[in-house]
Structure 1
Amino acid sequence: MSNSTAAARSETRGAIELTAAMLLSGTIGVFVVEAGASPFNVVFYRCVFGAAFLGLYCLIRGFFKNHGFTPKKLGLAALGGVFIVFNWAFLFESYDKTSISVATVVYHTQPFFVVLLGALLFKDRITAHKAGWLLVAFLGLILVAGVTASDFSSGSTYLVGLGYALLAALFYGLSTIITKRVSGVKPHLVALVQVLLGVPLLLPFTQLGQSVHFGSGWIWLIGLGFIHTGVMYVLMYSSYQKLPTSKIAVLAFVYPAAAMVCDWAVYGHHVTWIQALGIPLIVAASLGINLGWSLRLRPAAAQTAPAAPASGTQAAPAAGAQPVAASGRRTTA
């Protein structure tokens, strides 16, 4: 088998793995809602069961040997974990107050928070092209939000839900900025540290007494831990090693598409036509930021080389996203 054939097969396998991971990500909202527990309870048990899966996986794969952690790297991974677990809690809260579809699309403003935080914290330069894509994303966000006059009335929780989704995106951006500086460590180990930290961190916010009333909700909670914090991450991290940045960025949008289909199929929720107009704007802006696209059309003769990915941004959108790989590529919720 030639090297080119082997590389093509590896890329195809990576595409299948990432597509499967994103399809699994799209079902997170259903698992959260069907669990019937408070957002902090859901995240707490997601961390418990996720840590069990990832710990066993890392042990079997021998990742604990020559782990690469230093006190500084361990501290950065833990700090990123603080933002990750609260990001999950805010996103899950948003599901209840808006819908899985709206919350997921609004949550996918994460790449723009990464750009803004990079400029604010590390003085990264925001180019004219980045600023243009941020404006496109903002217009898309306004359309997707679909805010009406009734949402400002007393008793309406829709605006609060949108705020939670944006706060979740902000926290994900903070985790991305921090965790991408953890180099030389297997991303599975970084994720393990973050979910392990989530257990004692969320304990004060968790109502353990309600656990006896979960009933069938335990199945959904175990699924969130084993499937969405275990199997899904293993698939994603494996695919990242096989795929170019451009393909990762595109395939990652399977996640919000799958979430919207699940929301419609299970709960009958769907976005309005006006909201639907905003989705391609956010998608285009996210790809533009991640892949360094130019908003200005140039004659073919003037193009000398394809644009490089934007500095300080992530390769994939999500996550709901979830912990950020040590390579700097992002994960989902």
Structure 2
Amino acid sequence: MSQPTAPPAELERKGAFELTFAMILSGTIGVFVVESGASPFNVVFFRCVFGAIALGSYCLARGYFKNHGFTAKKLGLTALGGVFIVFNWVLLFSSYTKTSISVATVVYHTQPFYVVLLGAVLFRDKLTASKVGWLVVAFTGLILVAGVSASDLSGDSTYLVGLGQALLAAVFYALSTVITKRVSGVRPHLIALVQVLLGIPLLLPFAAVGQTADLGARWGWLVGIGLIHTGVMYVLMYSAYQKLPTPKIAVLAFIYPAMAMVMDWLVFGHHVSVVQALGIPLIVTASLGVNLGWRFGPPRRRTPAEQTPSVPETKTAQLVPATSTGGTR
């Protein structure tokens, strides 16, 4: 594969545009899901069908099936990650109608913290004091965003069920992330393609395909979720990851929940309360702190020995974006 010849600054600008557009598209998926009028299982089933067509066509056109890099072990890990990705979509889409697109998306955006916790539990990744501090901040924000009232606890439990589905969707996403991060040497487009292909037989027993016969023009929303939010969005996202440093990826990723909240307000008139709004910056700050390795708490005082200038190294380390190849939105 030929190396890009454009200057690094130009490549980074292109990557920033690609990721921004991908996150804007991602923020509109809730509207497509709700407007389709289909059940969550049907939405995800047809997302997998049309997404497989889009991703398969792209991979075929780019020649990605040659030297694909899959082994039996990598294929097994990809499939396992795909199970969690597919049911993560079902849970998230179901939570939209029980809470709201805004609340479900913000709650769902606690994914990075579950990745940290699962990494510590399953793979004994180091859980530093700073990460624990950011986790506390994030879950404080989560409590505020949840906005659970006494009536939710004593009356209709629909809202609580929706919150639980969004949280479980985030956990499933995190499980897929820690699994697919172990799949190296395979293009993320191919990993995503395997996972949506797996979703078709996986969801067929749950999907009431016959119910879609009366959707009429609303079929366009289902096709859009597969072609736009699974085909176009993934291609843009994976292309951007190759051009951008981790800090910029972490910051631009928050366009997704911001756009989702704007669309929820514009299309459905939903908005978060003042108390819920107080929790959003806590989750955003904590997520950036975890992703960018910020130290939690006041800066540590340096000792006289640490204040002595060190000899610069001949090479500098480059940040590599730790992204889920399975796709989430």
TM-score (normalised: structure 2): 0.92
For 1:1-31, what per-residue CA distance to the aligned partner results, in whole angstroms no more than 9, with x for missing partners? Answer: xx99811010000000000000000000000
Q: Conserved in 2, the CA contact under 8 Å of 1:236 and 1:331?
A: no
Q: What letter corresponds to residue 258 of structure 1 in structure 2?
A: M
The unaligned stretches of length 5 or more in structure 2 are 311-316
Q: Secondary structure, in 3 states, of the residue corresponding to 2:204?
A: helix
For 1:115-152, what per-residue CA distance to the aligned partner results, in whole angstroms no more than 9, with x for missing partners? Answer: 11111111222110000000000100000000000001
Q: Partners in 2 of 1:82 and 1:157 — Cα distance?
A: 25
1:295–1:14 distance in 2 versus 1, CA, 3 Å: same
Q: Partners in 2 of 1:105 and 1:173 — Cα distance?
A: 15
1:295 matched residue in structure 2? 296
1:6–1:200 distance in 2 versus 1, CA, 3 Å: same
For 1:24-44, what per-residue CA distance to the aligned partner results, in whole angstroms no more than 9, with x for missing partners? Answer: 000000000000000000000
1:8 matched residue in structure 2? 9
Q: Conserved in 1, the CA contact under 8 Å of 2:249 and 2:321?
A: no
Q: Secondary structure, in 3 states, of the residue corresponding to 1:204?
A: coil
Shift of 1:332: 3.6
How many residues align? The count is 316
Higher Cα Rg, which structure: 2
Q: Partners in 2 of 1:202 and 1:182 — Cα distance?
A: 24
Q: Secondary structure, in 3 states, of the residue corresponding to 1:37?
A: coil
Q: Secondary structure, in 3 states, of the residue corresponding to 1:235?
A: helix
For 1:244-269, what per-residue CA distance to the aligned partner results, in whole angstroms no more than 9, with x for missing partners? Answer: 00000000000000000000000000
Over the matched positions of the two proteins, sequence identity in percent amounts to 71
Q: Partners in 1 of 2:6 and 2:301 — Cα distance?
A: 31
2:124 matched residue in structure 1? 123
Q: Secondary structure, in 3 states, of the residue corresponding to 2:298?
A: coil
1:26 matched residue in structure 2? 27
Indicate yes or no: 2:229 matched with 1:228.
Answer: yes
The unaligned stretches of length 5 or more in structure 1 are 317-323
After TM superposition, the structure 1 = structure 2 runs for residues 142-291 of structure 1, keeping only pairs within 5 Å, are 142-291=143-292
1:320 matched residue in structure 2? none
After TM superposition, the structure 1 = structure 2 runs for residues 47-196 of structure 1, keeping only pairs within 5 Å, are 47-196=48-197
Q: Partners in 2 of 1:239 and 1:232 — Cα distance?
A: 11
2:41 matched residue in structure 1? 40
> Aligned-residue CA RMSD in angstroms?
2.2
Q: Secondary structure, in 3 states, of the residue corresponding to 1:293?
A: coil
Give the ranges of 4+ consecutive aligned residues of structure 1 lying more than 6 Å apart after TM superposition.
Answer: 299-305
Q: Partners in 1 of 2:97 and 2:171 — Cα distance?
A: 19
Q: Conserved in 1, the CA contact under 8 Å of 2:89 and 2:328?
A: no
Q: Secondary structure, in 3 states, of the residue corresponding to 2:202?
A: helix
1:274–1:4 distance in 2 versus 1, CA, 3 Å: farther
Q: Partners in 2 of 1:121 and 1:65 — Cα distance?
A: 33
Q: What letter corresponds to residue 37 of structure 2 in structure 1?
A: G
